[in-house]
């Protein structure tokens, strides 16, 4: 896949993100998303350009494993795809203020990804904020456990759900109980997309 012309690759990613921004991508079912992958293969601005460099049956994989897989990180302003995101979730600074408090300041120089985490400096001590969607809870808890074992700052998990995502009270309580078993505080917050 590295043989795709860089200008074409950038144009295709920008077009995919433009179209995703017009859709309710986060609210779409797996089946609806699957239908869009097929449409994108036949779209002259996406598949039409990619098929000059890769075979038709590889286009869907390229889209799914590249731009779409990186979409959540791009919307957080993280990674090489961030420049293409037309809408963004709040950055780590705003997530820290929203979930932890207005007296806390995220330190962008300490950002680590997969899962997203950074030091948040506040009154008296620093904490390690680890954030992501509920679907990545196992990864978030595991990162928190590793932070404890490695002697890092006290971890706080923030389950950051895109607006429109529904998490029941029972699920939220279960998240907190799972984190509590690991000795880690967990909080929930809602992220709202805004035009970049």
Residue ending a domain, choose from 25, 60, 88: 88
Q: Is the same domain home to 145 and 172?
A: yes
Rounded Cα distance, 72 and 82, in Å: 9
**Residue 49 corresponds to which tokens in the numbers above?**
């350009």
User: Is pLDDT above 60 for 60?
Assistant: yes
Tell me how many domains the chain contains: 2
Residue ending a domain, choose from 88, 109, 137: 88
Residue ending a domain, choose from 88, 119, 143: 88
In order of 3, 29, 48, 80, 127, the CA distances from 24 in angstroms are 32, 10, 24, 23, 34
At 1 the pLDDT is 43
User: Is pLDDT above 80 for 27?
Assistant: no
- Can you give the residue range of the structural domain that contains 160? 92-195
Q: Is the same domain home to 181 and 109?
A: yes
Helical H segments across 25-123, by residue range: 30-42, 47-50, 56-63, 69-75, 92-99
Least confident of 4-8, 28-32, 128-132: 28-32
């Amino acid at each position: 896949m590295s043989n795709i012309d860089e200008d074409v690759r950038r144009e295709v990613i920008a077009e995919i993100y433009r179209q995703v921004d017009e859709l309710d991508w986060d609210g779409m079912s797996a089946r609806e998303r699957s239908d869009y992958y097929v449409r994108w293969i036949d779209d002259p601005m996406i598949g039409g350009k990619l098929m000059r460099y890769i075979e038709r049956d590889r286009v869907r994989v390229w889209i799914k494993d590249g731009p779409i897989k990186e979409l959540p990180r791009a919307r957080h302003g993280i990674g090489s795809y961030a420049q293409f995101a037309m809408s963004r979730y709040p950055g780590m600074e705003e997530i820290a203020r929203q979930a932890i408090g207005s007296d806390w300041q995220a330190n962008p120089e300490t950002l680590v990804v997969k899962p997203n985490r950074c030091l948040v400096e506040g009154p008296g001590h620093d904490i390690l904020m680890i954030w992501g969607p509920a679907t990545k809870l196992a990864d978030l808890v595991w990162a928190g456990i590793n932070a404890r074992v490695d002697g890092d700052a006290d971890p706080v998990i923030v389950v950051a759900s895109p607006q429109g995502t529904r998490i029941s009270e029972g699920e939220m309580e279960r998240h907190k109980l799972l984190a509590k078993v690991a000795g880690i505080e967990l909080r929930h917050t809602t992220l709202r997309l805004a035009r970049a």
